[in-house]
Every structure is written in C-alpha cells, then in structure tokens.
Structure 1
Amino acid sequence: MSKQIAARMLGDDYQALYFWLKVCEMFQPHNNIEKVGYEYDQIKAFDDVVVFYNEKVPDKSMTPIVADYFQLKFHVTNSEYFTYENLMDPKAINATSVSILQRIHNAQKEFTPTGEHIRFYIVTPWHPHPDDALKELISNEDGQIRLDKLSQGGPRSKFGKVREAWKDHLGVATDDELMTALKPVRFNLGTRTITELQAQLNESLLINGFKPISNTLSLIHI
C-alpha cells in the first residue's frame, strides 16, 4: 500500500473517530447538541464534522454559539508545524490555490459577517512552531486567536508584521476587518493520536451505554 493511500485512509479514520466522539456527546444532555453532521456541505471549507446546538451555548466572551464547524487535517508525523506564514500557503493543507486563512475569511464573510455565533475549528496533530509568533497568539483556554495580543505594536513590530501579512493575503484594508475575519477561528492543535482517540471513543461509548470497539480490532488499515 502506498504511503499516500495509507495517509488518506488514516485521515478518514481520524475524521470518523472525531465524528463519533461528537455523536456520543449528543447523548449527554448537558452538551445541548441537537445534531452532528458528517461531510456536511453547508460550508465547504469546514465540512468534516459539524455540531448544531439545541440552545445557544456561550463562548468564553459569553457570545451565544449556534454551531461549530470542524475541519480535520491529519498528518502521519509531526515533522512539520503551523506558522503564521504557512496559514497563507495552500500547500500546508494539501490545496493548490486557496489557503486555510482564505477559506476561513470566505466562510466568515458569507456565514458570520460579524464573526460571531458560529466557530470554525482547525483540528490537527501538528503544533505551532515553537519560534513562531503564532504560538503566542493561540489561547490555551479555547484555541481562539488572542486578538488583543495580535493588536499590539506598530506595523514593524512582531505582531504588526503578522497583521500586515495577513491583511495583504486576505485583501482587507484595516485591522478591524482582520479581527472580524479571525474572531470565529479556533485551533485544536497537537491532538491525540488515532490510537488515543479510539480509546477515548470507547470510554464515551461505554458511558452512553453503547458497545465499545474491541481491542482485537483495528481502525488502522496498514
């Protein structure tokens, strides 16, 4: 089996495990989940898994959230990192012309003009590069970009260079436009391995009265 095919199949497993974890959460009333979508094509850039809520749930700023959209990017190894620059590079998400940052901006403009009420999650085993400005911008509270931090300094400062690069890439003129585009973004970086996700799913299945996956079976197709 070629490495490309194996990686694709592992990516499918990664997505499926994440979907079933969210389905298990739906059976726990405190999560207020109405339904969970798989390959839900409402927002093409964030269609892997979608969670809709029965009642609006507040984010950390107490803004009511009606839905979360998850795009999962599996990588076989941790040989690469996310940086503020490769968020502008289509190749970082195996695309040819549109970067993840542009996809976020396009979705934000169409579905959440104020940047509120829905969230776009990037879920991946990759980490932010330890020497990159992006590492300082991602909140460990909820994965949001720390817009207050990004706003610091002039155009030539460390974060000013990030702002200017992202504005130029997205074709926006002001910092306010950039902050609105970034407001719904959440990063879930450095996620668990597929084996760990399977163990987590088994725990969730048991909690909800379902049959777990036997450890004599494997989701790994290599």
Structure 2
Amino acid sequence: MTQAVVTRRDGDTFQARMFWMHAAHLLDPEGRVTRVGFEAGPRGFDDIWVEYDPAHAPKNQFGNAILVERMQCKWHATGGYYTFEDLTLPAFINAQTTSMLQRAYSALQYDRAEGRTSRLSLVTNHRTYVDDPLHTLLRMKSFTLNIEEMFTGKTERSAMFQLRQLWMSHLGIDEAELRSLGVALSLAHTSDSLDMLRDRLDVACRFAGLKRPDPNSSSTIYDGNIFEWVGQRRTEFDRKTFREKCGDEGLLAAPERSVRMYGVKTFEHASDRLELMCEDTLNMVPAFDDRFIRDTSAWKASLQPRLKEFLLKLPAEDGHLRLAIDAHATIAFAAGAVLDTKSGRIIEIVQRSPTRVVWSPNDRPPSPAWPTWIFEEEIVSPEGQGTAYAVSITRDTAPMVRQYVAQKLPGIRRVLIARPNVASGQSVVECGAHAIQLAESLADRLKSDREVDPALLMERVHLFVAAPNAFTFFLGRHVQVLKPVTLYEFDFGRDRHGSYEPSLLYPDIERP
C-alpha cells in the first residue's frame, strides 16, 4: 500500500471519528445537538456539520448563539504548519480551483441567507506558523480570530494590512464582509493522534449508549460505516432518524444506569466542548485571555464563589457525582476543596490526559507496581517561614520553583520536592484509585512534618503542582490538612512572564 493511499485512508478515519464524536450527542434527548450531517450541505465546506438547539446553543466570541457549525477536516500524515496565504490556495485543501477561504465565505453567505449565525471551522493537525499573522490572531480558548487586532495596521508594511488586502482581493469583498467572515472562522488545531481520537470515541460511545470500539483493534466499526451510509444517500440525521439508523445497524448497546456529568471550564477545547456531554457546565472562560486570567483578583472575588455555588447545588445520585474539569489547576484544587473528604460524596473525575477516561475511587484495585513518591527536602533559610511544595508528576517543577523562591519568596524556610519514583510524564498516574492514593500520601507527608514540630502547624504551604487535574482535585479534598496554603499558576506557554504567579489562598488571609 503506497503512502498516499495510507494517508487518504487515515484522513477518512479522522473525518469519520470526528463525525461520530459529534453525532453521538444526538442520542442524548436533552442535549444541545439537534441535527448532524456528513458530506452534505454548502458545497465545499461539508465534511461535517452540526446544528444546535437555539435555546442551548454555544456562543461565539461576541455572545451570539451559534446555530450551526460547519467543519472542514484536513488530516496530515506528518506534522506541519500553514500561513494566511495558504488559505487562499486551492492546493492547500487538495482542490483544483476553490480555496478554503472561498469555501468558507460561500458557506457564510448560505447560512446568512438562512438567517443563521454559523461557525466555520478548519479542523487540522497542522498549526499556524509562529511568525505568521494568523498565529498572533488565534485565540486558543475557542480557536477563533481576534477581530480587533486583525483590523490594526494601516500601512503596506503591516502584516495585518497584508493579510486583509490578500484575503479581500482573493474573495472580492470589502472590510465589512471580511470582518463578518473573520468572526465566523475557527482554525481548530487538534494535537490528538488517530489512536487518541479512537480513545475519545470510546468515551463518547460509552456516554451515548453506543457499542464501544473493540479495544484490541486499531480500527473501529465507526471508521467505515458512515461512508457506507453516504452511498445509501443517508447523510443527514436528527435525533429520531439517527437512533433508528443506529438501531438498524446494531450499534446501540444494552442500556446502562444513566450517569449525569457536570462540567467546569476556564478554557475551551474547540472539538470537544463540555456543553455537548454535560448536564450543566460552569463556563468561566470569559474571565481569561487564552490561559491568563484577566484580573488576578477574580480568583477570590468571583471565580471561587461561583465555583462553590455551582458545585454545592449539583445533585449527587446515590451519593455519586461525576465531574469534567477543563480548567486551570487552581480551579481543580478549589473544586476539591469545596467537595472535600467530609462532603459525603463519592466523586468521579473525567480525566482528559491524554484522552477522556473516567477516574473513580474504586476503578482499579491497589497495586504495588504503581509509582509512589520520592521526597527531597532543601533548607533555604533555617530561620525562615513557609514550605514551597514542588509537586512534579507530569513535569519537573523543581528548577522553576527554586528560581521563583529565590526571586519572590526569599524568606521561605524550605523547598520540599515530591517526585514520582519514575520519570515525570502524562502516564504516571494510572487511574482514579492511584490518584487518590498519591494525594493522600502527599497530604500525609506534610501532616507528619507539622506534627513533629508544633511551631510549624500554621506555617504556610506554597503549592506548585504539575499533575493531571484529577490528582489536583483529589489533593484539594485534603485542604483542611494542607492549609494555610497558597496556590500558584505557571505560564506554560511562556507567553507572559514564563514563571509562576499566586492565585488562591486558604484561608484567604495571608499568614507567614
């Protein structure tokens, strides 16, 4: 089989799995997805489309309800980049005469004539070039463009001016029309491999009541059947026709006990929105500019109170509660602090890294093979106050914590480094039971240190965590043992200061 054939097949698999992850939501009678289509709709921008219930539709960057989302899927066998010029070239999407931008503009005109606000998404595993104007415009919380910045630059040497002029000339439109197109465009980068998409599809099938893919096979029944349906001219589905078709094809699984899931987010995953799978979602994305909080006082003033109010009102069926947390580590910890070990609830966390899986307290029996902690203590100042706790599960936090302590916390007493006894990485934590075990042993270490010397009982802990959110949530459930504690967020993308900054304090009055 030639590489070109393999790439084409993988591209079809990518499109099919993306379709099924959206179409599965049609099996939720109370969900926001009402219709889906595959290889149907406005010519050229028709790989996948999704229609939303107007009463529960997602919002665009200006707060308008998105009634339909159209997706152009572009899979590549190897990594790569594209520029704003590429979007004007038919060859970029393997076409002969029509570019991606022309297809998007045609779809925009179609939807506008129908009176619908739409989102037009290029979904690809390639990225924008770092030094390209598109890279500057792209807002990661929704993969949309910063329209105000797009219309800066009035001279021919300005990169934004060149982008606008090329796109307007290519499409034969004025600035007003370009602005409308820019608002609708989404350049959704996905870093998921086909294997990771397969795992995400497995989760979607589990939640929707579809038969799950064979865990021992690299391909799935869902990779080819949608193309067979296209041959049958079955390309558009609503809730009723989709359930009927799945039933006819033997794709519906035996019914299981329904588990409602609730979501909390401070950032957006454009191709996997929490609102599509959760009963209710606390959306705090507007408080952030990409991954940075707009106003640091909002951690305490608004986000923490909103989080507490949201979580405490959630119904816990049989004492169980399932949460999906697409949020900063501070919010994951704060959620655990609200639903602490005395709350009487059994919490399941939908963990994303690297794909969505449900982590629960008893998902696996304990194993002596699970990674455990190695602790390393560094005394900074014997007469100082406070412990900087560097927790290094997914990456080594110690170097940046030492640097931050030297610059911002010169009066600290010690740095306590907690590392797993294996290399740091996304796969260190095996499951929910393992995450709980690690969180408990981490809290126990600090508790035992304090009990040795009563003078340390009120010593503040400065907590720097690089870990899966499920672990951070379970650690937050031990807030009564950890406090007084200050949480910190790290600039992972090095887009601002490239270091840490404090977020929340427990209790919220600073102590030594």
Q: With structure 2 as the length reference, what TM-score do the two structures score?
A: 0.40
Residue 91 in 1 paired to residue 91 in 2? yes
Q: What does the per-residue CA deviation read over 1:67-86, in whole Å, with 9 as the maximum and x for residues that have no partner?
A: 111110111111x3121111
Q: What does the per-residue CA deviation read over 1:152-186, in whole Å, with 9 as the maximum and x for residues that have no partner?
A: 121321211111111111112x3222112222111
* Counterpart position of 2:176: 176
* Counterpart position of 1:186: 186
Q: What does the per-residue CA deviation read over 1:110-136, in whole Å, with 9 as the maximum and x for residues that have no partner?
A: 332699611111101001111111101
Judge which range, 12-21 or 58-67, deviates more.
Answer: 58-67
Judge which range, 45-54 or 192-201, deviates more.
Answer: 45-54
* Counterpart position of 1:8: 8
* Counterpart position of 2:167: 166
Distance (whole Å) between structure 1 residues aligned to residue 21 and residue 190 of structure 2: 17
Where structure 1 has 5 or more consecutive residues not aligned to the other structure, the ranges are: none
Judge which range, 111-120 or 98-107, deviates more.
Answer: 111-120
Residue 144 in 1 paired to residue 144 in 2? yes
Judge which range, 29-38 or 95-104, deviates more.
Answer: 29-38
Which amino acid is 2:65 matched to?
P
Tell me, yes or no, if the aligned pair for 1:11 and 1:73 is still in contact at 8 Å: yes
* Counterpart position of 1:72: 73
Judge which range, 109-118 or 65-74, deviates more.
Answer: 109-118
- How far did 1:94 drift? 0.7
Q: 1:107 to 1:82 in 2, by over 3 A?
A: same
* Counterpart position of 1:126: 126
Structure with a larger share of its residues in helix? 1
Judge which range, 12-21 or 43-52, deviates more.
Answer: 43-52
Q: 1:195 to 1:99 in 2, by over 3 A?
A: same
Q: CA RMSD in A?
A: 2.1
Distance (whole Å) between structure 2 residues aligned to residue 29 and residue 165 of structure 1: 45
- How far did 1:30 drift? 5.8
Distance (whole Å) between structure 2 residues aligned to residue 11 and residue 148 of structure 1: 34
* Counterpart position of 1:54: 53
Tell me, yes or no, if the aligned pair for 1:108 and 1:115 is still in contact at 8 Å: no
Distance (whole Å) between structure 2 residues aligned to residue 77 and residue 10 of structure 1: 11
* Number of aligned residue pairs: 218
Which amino acid is 1:77 matched to?
T
Tell me, yes or no, if the aligned pair for 2:111 and 2:117 is still in contact at 8 Å: no
Distance (whole Å) between structure 1 residues aligned to residue 53 and residue 175 of structure 2: 34
Q: What does the per-residue CA deviation read over 1:87-109, in whole Å, with 9 as the maximum and x for residues that have no partner?
A: 11111111111111111122222
Distance (whole Å) between structure 1 residues aligned to residue 114 and residue 160 of structure 2: 23
Distance (whole Å) between structure 1 residues aligned to residue 102 and residue 155 of structure 2: 21
* Counterpart position of 2:32: 32
- How far did 1:55 drift? 2.6
SS class of match (1:61): coil
Q: 1:135 to 1:29 in 2, by over 3 A?
A: farther
Moved beyond 6 Å, runs of 4+: none
Which amino acid is 2:48 matched to?
V
Residue 19 in 1 paired to residue 19 in 2? yes
Residue 110 in 1 paired to residue 110 in 2? yes
Which amino acid is 2:70 matched to?
Y
- How far did 1:207 drift? 2.1
Judge which range, 121-130 or 42-51, deviates more.
Answer: 42-51
* Counterpart position of 2:205: 205
Q: Which structure's relative contact order is higher, taking Cα pairs within 8 Å and 6+ residues apart? A: 1
Tell me, yes or no, if the aligned pair for 2:19 and 2:48 is still in contact at 8 Å: yes
Where structure 2 has 5 or more consecutive residues not aligned to the other structure, the ranges are: 224-512
* Counterpart position of 1:43: 42
Q: What does the per-residue CA deviation read over 1:24-58, in whole Å, with 9 as the maximum and x for residues that have no partner?
A: 23334564111221112x21222111111233513
Which amino acid is 2:168 matched to?
K
Q: With structure 1 as the length reference, what TM-score do the two structures score?
A: 0.90
Judge which range, 206-215 or 98-107, deviates more.
Answer: 206-215
Identity across matched positions, percent? 26
